[in-house]
Structure 1
Amino acid sequence: MAYAPAGNSKQAIARLREFGYAFNEAGELRRIDAYTGRPGDKPFIFEISKSQAENQAHYEKLADQIPEIVYELLERNGLSRTYIPLGMPPDRSTFIFTSALKGCKKLLVLIHGSGYVRAGQWARSLVINNSLDHGTQLPYIQRAQKLGYDIVVTNTNDNDRTIDGQSMPIKGVENAHKHAAYVWKHIVMPAKPESVAIVAHSFGGLVVRDLAEEYSDFFREKVFAIALTDPTISTAPACCKKYFLDVTCNWVSSNKPLDAEVARAHASEYIKCVSAGHPKHEWSSYSAMESVIKFIEDKYEQRVHAK
């Protein structure tokens, strides 16, 4: 897709230009050409000073503009903001992105890792240094939509708001676990999806395990595939161990080729592990995408034939 600027991200794009950068049509962050005023060929440069602190501060300020740009792209792909907790004003709530969700047959839930990433991102370093396709969930969303999935994009790191000059936790979604549980209870389950798949990266794996423990009956009935990309867990929840191991695969960072088995001692006790096809943690979601999508679709076919 094209990544031309528009809409709600206009201010963020303007701030990016103040740093001397813009995204080109391929979604790559490039230095603005002084003659044309358009993105040129030069990529982002981290070292702008001899001071490491100044370099990092510059990077953080530039990275702060990324979320709004990604949010707009999610909206351009047919997703809408749903503010949570439900009924709270926007300035005292966070938000997720969803498709219509009414009577959905297949639902894909995306859960990012911890840190600075927000809804729609896997790794902001890849957004900045490679492209929006590499670092965001957009390729997953577009592929899933073509396969007939409705989408829920969580925002588990957005847990506080500044009120009267003070940072205050958003009641009911104060951390990643509570955020995900709220989304599951108030958004996912009321949608009454026939079948649910999950893709979770890094700390998102622990979030999924907590969800499976809290909503084990729903998981057993509805969640047919759980794809984890280099997660912070390796074992299944005790309450639904056999089920969880049956529906879950873990793509770990590795020098081995994509899908090559990564052996573990006492393999029957652990989630199945295969290579994500890249040795770096932050690349795992992007590099494993084709395999993840195939895994989910194969699991769905098994589910259909089992009925």
Structure 2
Amino acid sequence: MTSTEQGWSFPDTIEGFGYTFNTDGQLRKIDPNTGEPGNEPFEFHVTENQDYNQKRYEALGDVITEYVYGLLETEVGLQRMMVPHQGAVQESAFIFVSSDALSKPDRLLVLIPGSGVVKSGQWARSLIINDSLQSGSQIPFIKHARELGYAVIVMNPNENTKVINGKKIKIMNSSNAKEHADYVWKHYVKEVTPKHIAVIAHSYGGFLAVDLATRYFTHFQSSVFAIALTDSVHNLLMQNVPPRVAGYLRKVSRNWASHDAPLDTPLPCEMEGGIPRVSAGHTKHEMTSWSSFESVFTFLQEQYAAVPKKEEL
């Protein structure tokens, strides 16, 4: 059981909350007669005390975070790596990587979630709870990437603090999302020297991707062949992106934005000379990654096919 400052105690397993995931990845209330998932979805309003309901929802979210971590290890075979490299485990953040990501892979996919409560393996925790693991987690993306031959690194930019002996401390080299992304790119992505790199980033993850491209432009220009953004909140002007970086980003990037137009319908850019925007085919921000799933991978494949190979040079 976990407790809050109000003295409320909550379970530390999904089943303890009375729920489980069915075969379609939907969170459902456990049928007391069969012990199997029934048809009832998650219920937020269980008391008249809205503070309690919210804390219960957050506690369930924390448990689901650990559940998704487990899926990254058991279902798609990733392993945890510390941030920073040499930090004590209890004081470190961590990312998830495939074993082949550490041995000069031909192709590497880097996944960057947005801001807020989402951690490695998640695009939107609210979708995992209220819709399905498929729409809210990164698991389908990782599985498909592995099928296509990509090694994978999954960033964890919102893992910024730890509680040690009752005191909250900031994690070294991961005290905020930008610091985390910078460290992971510098000490993991660059150091494993993959030949070809693709990035998929959602929401604030797009801001981080643009920031990394600006910081490490030479490396991006030589290695990153595709950047797929889903409802990204980047802004080339506000982020002071130099013209040559902006020109590069226009060539290798596409942003699937929330919109009611059919999937892949071209949309106006956020600014003249900005990253090309197309419709994600969905109006809900959280759903843009899942709704554009097939188009994102088609884009990656097209971009990779256009990369000059050594035998063509």
8 Å contact kept, 2:246–2:274:
no
Q: 1:162 to 1:266 in 2, by over 3 A?
A: closer
Give the drift of 1:16.
1.6
Amino acid at match of 1:270: G
Report the secondary structure of 1:60's partner residue: helix
Matched with 1:178 is 179
8 Å contact kept, 1:109–1:199:
yes
Residues 225-246 of structure 1, C-alpha deviations (whole Å, 9 max, x = no match): 0011001114372151111111
Structure 1 residue runs without a partner (length 5+): 1-11
Cα distance in 2 for partners of 1:13, 1:283 equals 28
Matched with 2:194 is 193
Give the drift of 1:56.
1.5
Taking structure 2 as the reference length, the TM-score comes to: 0.90
Report how many aligned residue pairs link the two structures.
295
Matched with 1:88 is 87
Cα distance in 2 for partners of 1:265, 1:24 equals 40
Give the drift of 1:201.
0.4
Q: 1:284 to 1:265 in 2, by over 3 A?
A: closer
Matched with 2:38 is 40
8 Å contact kept, 2:12–2:63:
no
8 Å contact kept, 1:13–1:22:
no
Q: CA RMSD in A?
A: 1.7
Matched with 1:163 is 164
Matched with 2:294 is 290
Matched with 1:5 is none
Matches within 5 A, 1:125-164: 125-164=126-165
Residues 45-80 of structure 1, C-alpha deviations (whole Å, 9 max, x = no match): 112123332222221111110111111111121110
Matched with 2:68 is 70
8 Å contact kept, 1:253–1:281:
yes
Cα distance in 2 for partners of 1:265, 1:208 equals 16
Taking structure 1 as the reference length, the TM-score comes to: 0.92
Cα distance in 2 for partners of 1:240, 1:31 equals 49
Report the secondary structure of 1:303's partner residue: coil
Give the drift of 1:215.
0.6
8 Å contact kept, 2:113–2:205:
yes
Cα distance in 1 for partners of 2:83, 2:137 equals 22
Cα distance in 2 for partners of 1:297, 1:47 equals 44
Matched with 2:259 is 254
Q: 1:14 to 1:265 in 2, by over 3 A?
A: closer
Matches within 5 A, 1:205-220: 205-220=206-221
Matched with 1:270 is 274
Give the drift of 1:89.
1.6
Report the secondary structure of 1:65's partner residue: helix
Matched with 1:121 is 122
Q: 1:274 to 1:54 in 2, by over 3 A?
A: same
Give the drift of 1:304.
3.6
Structure 2 residue runs without a partner (length 5+): 1-9
Q: 1:190 to 1:54 in 2, by over 3 A?
A: same
Runs of 4+ in structure 1 off by over 3 angstroms are 264-267, 304-307
Matched with 2:3 is none
Q: 1:13 to 1:294 in 2, by over 3 A?
A: farther
Matched with 1:3 is none
Q: 2:21 aligns with which of 8, 23, 44?
A: 23
Q: 1:13 to 1:225 in 2, by over 3 A?
A: farther
8 Å contact kept, 1:13–1:69:
no
Q: 1:18 to 1:262 in 2, by over 3 A?
A: same
Give the drift of 1:13.
9.0
Cα distance in 1 for partners of 2:274, 2:34 equals 55
Q: 1:224 to 1:55 in 2, by over 3 A?
A: same
Matched with 1:281 is 285
Amino acid at match of 2:256: W
Cα distance in 1 for partners of 2:210, 2:283 equals 24
Cα distance in 2 for partners of 1:274, 1:234 equals 16
- Identity score, percent: 44
Deviates most, 23-32 or 230-239: 230-239
Deviates most, 95-104 or 148-157: 95-104
